[in-house]
Each structure stands twice: as C-alpha cells, then as structure tokens.
C-alpha cells in the first residue's frame, strides 16, 4: 500500500495544474427511509478525520474537517488540506439517521484520489463499493459529471434510529387474544352450552353420544377424577384429603377385600356420569 500511496502522490502532482482547489461534495439522495433529504436537521454535518503521521504536527494541516448541511441537502468540503497524502474517514451525522462511513484518499496537493465505502471495525484496506476514483493510467476521472478537481459522491443511508419505546395500548381485542381468556371462554361455552345442546338432541342420538363418551378415555379420566380416583393436591396440602400413598394403600386393601366392591364403585361412577 505504501507503494500505491506514493504512486497516487505522483499522480496528484501531475494533476495539480488543473486541480488547485478541490471541492468534495456529498449529496444526500432521497431514499425510502428519508424520502425528503431537505427534512434533515440543521445540525447535520460531515467530518473528515485522520491522524497525521507522528511528528507531522497535530494542527498543521488540520486533520479534522467539518462541513455543515447546505440548503440543497449537500455537504461540501472546500480546500482539502495539502501537504501530505492522507486517507480520511468520512462520517455523516444527522440526528436519527445513520449513514455509511466512507474512506476518502487525498493526494498531497489536496485533490481527492478515491472514495470507497468502508466498514467500521474492519481493516482499513477492506474497502466496499467504490464511489469515486481517479483513473491512474489515463489521468482523468471516470465520472463524467465531475469537472476540474471537484468530486461528487452520494451518501448512503443505512437506517434510522428509533429513540422511543412504543407503549402497549390496552384494547379489548388484545384481551381476547390472550390464550387464558380463550380457554376460559371455551370452558364457559362447554359448561353452559353442552347441557342445552344435549337437551335439544333427539333421545337416540343422546344415548349414542353417552355411550361414546363413556368409552372415551378422556372423559373416563375426568370421571375417575371426579369419582375420587385422582389426587386432590389442594386437599392434601390443607390436610383434609389423604396423601396419595395412603390412597394407594387404601385402594390396594380395598381390591384385596372384594372385587364386588369395585363393581359397586364403578356403578356409582356410572350414575354420576349419567347425570352429566
């Protein structure tokens, strides 16, 4: 790269007769995030930043250049400092809008030799899309719209910063979307709607349905639970219901005692079921 810089330097010198005061203009094109570049705040500005080589002096030439936003939504750098070939970091800062940083190479005579996109946190040599470059061989610019030493590039808008948090607004619809509420509504419909539905059914259908529901494992399980087959956690915690171990032992004892007892219990369960 050192070699390359020096070749650029030579080029800059040869060009110096036509590029005495170089003008670098950055235009801000309209984009989806920024349909009207004229709406940018007045504090919008661009900076060219670099650090001169050690010993070159810190203020001479100035190594931090700033340009304010103009009425035409452009940022214009005049009189880029001459003396040393420099490679600048171009930042555009505009409130909530985020622009891509550029790399701007400037020759010793203050004329721009090349502008590329660059990526923060990446090596400086890792250049992105080329925005402008002086053709080394022909000694003339590639872009037709630039004349003299003036350079025109477009800024690239990356995005927009969102400063504010959205407050969740209360709406009855969002309440209905809550799965808990939905489950409650379904349960409500079942408890109130099912008996009505059953009443309206003709007796044959009802009998068939009852037969079906008796054999269904799901309703069987619930019936078991209502019949005392399940474990009553709240009761056990409160001390009013026996612990599951005690229940199991009791049941074993019951089973051993008589099989007819179990049948009786099943019949009782059937009664309960019938009542629905």
Partner 1 sequence: MRLQVVLPLAACLSPVVAIYSDEVNHIDFHHALLGAPSPDSTFFLKPSSSSNASLLYTISEKSIVGAVNPRDGSLIWRQDLGRFSSSPAGPGILRGLDGNSAVVSAAGDSISSWSAQDGKLIWESRLDGGAVADLELLELHDASESPDSRDAIALTSSDGTGVVRRLDGDLGKTKWEYKDTSGDMAFQVSSSPTEIFYISLQPALLKGYRIKVTALDPVTGRQSRHVILNSESDVTSQESILFVGANTASPLIVWTDKSLKTLKVNVIGTKHVTSLPIDNASGLDIGEITVHAPRKLNSLAHFLVHYKTKSGAWAEVYHVDMKSSAVTKAYNLPYLQGQSVVATNNINANVYFTRMTDAEAVVVSSASHGILGRWKADVSTSDPALHAVADVVTKGKSVAVRSAVIHESGDWSLIRNGHTEWTRPEALVHTVAAAWAVEEDLEDLAHELEIEGHESLVGAYIHRVKRHLRDLQYFPEWLKDLPKRIVTSILSDEVSNLDSFGVAQSIILATDKGRVYALDTGRHGIIKWAIQAEKTSDWDVKAVLANPGLAEVFLGDGSSVRVKSSTGEILAKSPPTDVKLQTIATINQPAGLSASQNGAIGIRGDGTLVAPLDILSGFLVTTTSDGRLLGWARKDSKFPVWDFVPPAGQKVVKAVSRPSHDPVASIGKVLGDRSVLYKYLNPNLVLVTAVNEQEHIAAFYLLDGVSGKVLHSVSRAGVDPTQPITSAISENWFAYSFFGDALEESSAKGYQLVVSELYESPLVNDRGPLGSAGNFSSLHNERGDSLPLPHVVSQSFVIAEPISHMAVTQTRQGITIRQLLCVLPSSNAIVGIPRHVLDPRRPVDRDPTSAEAEEGLFRYAPFLEFDGRWYLSHSRDVAGIKTVLSQPTLLESTSLIFAFGGDIFGTRATPSQAFDILGKSFSKLQLVLTVVALTGGVMFLAPMARAKQVNMLWKST
Q: Residues in the site for partner 1, rule: CB under 8 A?
A: 1, 41-43, 45, 47, 49-51, 54-55, 58-59, 62-64, 66-71, 78-79, 87, 89, 91, 93, 95-96, 98, 100-101, 118-128, 158, 161-168, 170, 271-272, 275
Q: What are the angstrom distances between the C-alpha of 193 and each of 197, 198, 205, 213, 226? A: 6, 9, 17, 17, 21
- Is the CB of 1 or the CB of 218 nearer to partner 1? 1
Residue 104: Cβ within 10 Å count:
27
Q: For residues 76 and 62, give the distance between their C-alpha atoms in angstroms, rounded to a whole number.
A: 16
The enclosing H or E element of 93 equals: strand 86-94
Closest separation between CB of residue 128 and partner 1, Å? 6
- Is the CB of 56 or the CB of 207 nearer to partner 1? 56
Q: Are 244 and 236 in contact (CB under 8 A)?
A: yes
Closest separation between CB of residue 18 and partner 1, Å? 20
- Is the CB of 122 or the CB of 243 nearer to partner 1? 122
Closest separation between CB of residue 162 and partner 1, Å? 5
SS3 3: helix
Strand order in the sheet with 74-78: 74-78, 23-27, 151-154
- Is the CB of 65 or the CB of 151 nearer to partner 1? 65
Closest separation between CB of residue 172 and partner 1, Å? 11
Closest separation between CB of residue 51 and partner 1, Å? 4
Q: For residues 119 and 103, give the distance between their C-alpha atoms in angstroms, rounded to a whole number.
A: 9
- Is the CB of 112 or the CB of 269 nearer to partner 1? 269
Burial level of 32, CB count in 10 A (0-12/13-18/19+)? exposed
Closest separation between CB of residue 59 and partner 1, Å? 7
Closest separation between CB of residue 229 and partner 1, Å? 16
Q: What are the angstrom distances between the C-alpha of 61 and each of 50, 57, 64, 81? A: 11, 8, 9, 6
- Is the CB of 130 or the CB of 212 nearer to partner 1? 130
Residue 188: Cβ within 10 Å count:
10
Q: Are 40 and 95 in contact (CB under 8 A)?
A: yes
- Is the CB of 246 or the CB of 264 nearer to partner 1? 264
Any idea what DSSP says for residue 191? H
Residue 95: Cβ within 10 Å count:
13
């Amino acid at each position: 790269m050192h070699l390359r810089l020096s070749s650029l330097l030579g080029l800059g010198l040869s060009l110096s007769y036509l590029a005495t005061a170089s003008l670098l203009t950055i235009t801000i094109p309209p984009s989806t995030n920024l349909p009207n570049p004229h709406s940018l705040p007045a504090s919008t500005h661009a900076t060219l930043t670099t650090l001169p080589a050690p010993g070159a002096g810190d203020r001479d030439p100035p190594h931090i250049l700033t340009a304010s936003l103009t009425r035409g939504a452009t940022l214009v750098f005049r009189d880029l400092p001459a003396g040393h070939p420099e490679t600048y970091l171009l930042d555009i800062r505009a409130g909530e809008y985020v622009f891509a940083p550029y790399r701007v190479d400037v020759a010793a005579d203050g004329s721009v030799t090349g502008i590329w996109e660059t990526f923060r946190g990446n090596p400086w040599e890792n250049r992105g899309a080329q925005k402008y470059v002086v053709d080394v061989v022909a000694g003339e610019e590639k872009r037709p719209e630039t004349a003299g030493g003036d350079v025109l590039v477009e800024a690239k808008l990356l995005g927009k910063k969102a400063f504010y948090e959205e407050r969740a607004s209360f709406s009855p619809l969002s309440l209905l979307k809550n799965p808990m509420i939905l489950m409650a509504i379904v349960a409500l419909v079942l408890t109130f709607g099912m008996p009505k539905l059953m009443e309206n059914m003709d007796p044959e259908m009802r009998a068939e349905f009852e037969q079906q529901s008796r054999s269904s494992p799901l309703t069987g399980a619930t019936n078991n639970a209502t019949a005392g087959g399940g474990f009553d956690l709240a009761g056990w915690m409160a001390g009013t219901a026996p612990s599951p171990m005690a229940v199991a032992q009791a049941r074993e004892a019951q089973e051993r005692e008589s099989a007819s007892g179990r049948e009786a219990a099943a019949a009782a369960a059937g009664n309960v079921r019938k009542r629905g």
